[in-house]
Amino acid sequence: MEILKIYDNPARPQWADLTRRCTRQEDEIAEQVAGILAQVREGGDEALRRIVRRIEGRTPEAFEIPADIRRKAAEAVSDDLKKALAAAKANIEAFHRAQLPQEVRIETMPGVRCMQRAMPIRRVGLYVPGGQAPLFSTVLMLAVPARVAGCGEVILCTPASREGAVAPEILYAADLCGVDRIFAVGGAQAVAAMAYGTESIPRVDKIFGPGNRYVTRAKQLVAGDTVAVDLPAGPSEVLVLLDDDASPAFAAADLLSQAEHGGDSQAMLVCASETFARRVQLAVEEQLQRLGRGAVIREALRTSRIVVLGDREERIAFADAYAPEHLIVAMRDPWEAAGRIAAGSVFVGPWSPESAGDYASGTNHTLPTGGWARACSGVNTDAFLRKITYQELTREGLGRLAPTIVAMAEAEGLGAHAAAVRIRMKGGAL
């Protein structure tokens, strides 16, 4: 089978199919996840142990990683990686601290003072994917803005090995970023534990973090139930938008770096000519020979594709229709194009690989997938805050506003609303 199938100047009616994500086994996944959520909600730790034994092949006595194990993790992390994590953390913290909102104070009319204050969410739960590639970078992307926002308690759930161990890099990054508690549990069952609470894992107010389709579906289900969630962040994706002046080698590298996330990831190239598309195909095959995770990459590339559109406006329109999690724009006048496309995070120019945002430029890599970039933002400092409005009126201020309130309340048929104003203006009598 041809790797990265090419679609040459597809007509607009075909775009819906070409922008479709991986939807294999969605009904089966939804049924399994609903069952897991119900079991954990009703059975707590004991149900969680049964699920972990069935899915992960281990039977944990306790889920929380003890303090001594967390401290020892630093010994297993190289000095080079420690320096890299410190540099990345500094950039991420600087960018997210700059996002902190200012308090709003305004007198909308004499005697009527309104305010808005941003208050941190009290307890947040972070989900960090593990498995074959434990994503310690996600710890930084979630824990740093949580601490910048001032959240009272930060807990973290992440999968463990069959022996119950969590990658030392994740533990070290968690300590570096001030995570309070870490629990060795992954998948939909971790989402359930944080959403409902168990005897050992506390219920949180909001859940953050990317994951596979089981994790994403679990977040969607609990979001309509008992807890807030950050955004729909499922299997990762990238769209690379180029013209013929771009580098085929760079394009191939960007597609491959996305595909190695998982077999259900998707890497899309939108370019100007079939000649360029063939050059990228060759570069992908050549570079793939030198990479690990080849089986995972090839599986992802089976549902990835190259779309050739000779017209620049058509390329931009297709990219916007796809609304990618990650968008790489390496074409003439890239900022003009980037400003017209819905995306989670945008990488502008040939020297801005997605890897920069995934790790250390300072932007967040927890982003909306599956086309949700049309309506959702990626994780940012604001996501860890709740904004409360306040108002304080003087007697004179209420007097000025009273005719407006009374007229509107009576027009809506809400007489008690009007009475709450009249009784004040008449000194306690109606």
Domain membership of residue 112 (yes or no) is: no
User: Domain check: are 332 and 223 in the same one?
Assistant: no
Task: Count Cβ atoms within 10 A of the Cβ of residue 287 and give its class: 0-12 exposed, 13-18 middle, 19 or more buried.
Answer: middle
Please report, rounded to a whole number, the percentage of residues in the chain having pLDDT higher than 70. Answer: 98
User: Domain check: are 78 and 167 in the same one?
Assistant: yes
Q: Is 103 flagged in the annotation as binding?
A: no
Does 199 participate in catalysis according to the annotation?
no
Instruction: Using pLDDT thresholds of 50, 70 and 90, give the confidence band for residue 2.
Output: low
Q: Which of 56, 237, 326, 365 is an active site residue?
A: 326
- At residue 430, the pLDDT reads 66
Q: Is 364 flagged in the annotation as binding?
A: no
Q: Is 412 flagged in the annotation as binding?
A: yes
d(CA 354, CA 216): 22
Tell me how far apart the terminal alpha carbons of the chain are, to the nearest angstrom.
82
Helix ranges restricted to H, 57-114: 67-73, 79-97
259, pLDDT greater than 90: yes
d(CA 337, CA 314): 11
DSSP of 155-171: EEEE---TTS---HHHH
Q: Is 189 flagged in the annotation as binding?
A: yes
Q: Which of 314, 325, 354, 365 is an active site residue?
A: 325
Q: Is 91 flagged in the annotation as binding?
A: no
Domain that holds residue 295: 5-22+235-362
d(CA 331, CA 132): 35
pLDDT tens, position by position, 310-333: 999 999 999 999 999 999 999 999
pLDDT tens, position by position, 41-83: 999 999 999 999 998 888 898 999 999 999 999 999 999 999 9
Q: Is 236 flagged in the annotation as binding?
A: yes
User: Domain check: are 138 and 260 in the same one?
Assistant: no
User: Domain check: are 192 and 69 in the same one?
Assistant: yes
User: Domain check: are 83 and 218 in the same one?
Assistant: yes
Residue recorded with tokens 């950039």 = 91
- Nearest of 296, 345, 255, 257 to residue 131 by alpha carbon: 296
Q: How many domains does the chain have?
A: 3
d(CA 61, CA 156): 18
**Span 12-27, mean pLDDT?**
86
Domain membership of residue 300 (yes or no) is: yes
pTM of the model: 0.93
User: Domain check: are 87 and 136 in the same one?
Assistant: yes
Domain membership of residue 385 (yes or no) is: no
User: Domain check: are 89 and 144 in the same one?
Assistant: yes
Which range has the worst mean pLDDT, 14-28, 195-209, 293-307, 348-362? 14-28
Mean pLDDT of the chain: 94
Does 325 participate in catalysis according to the annotation?
yes
User: Domain check: are 239 and 304 in the same one?
Assistant: yes
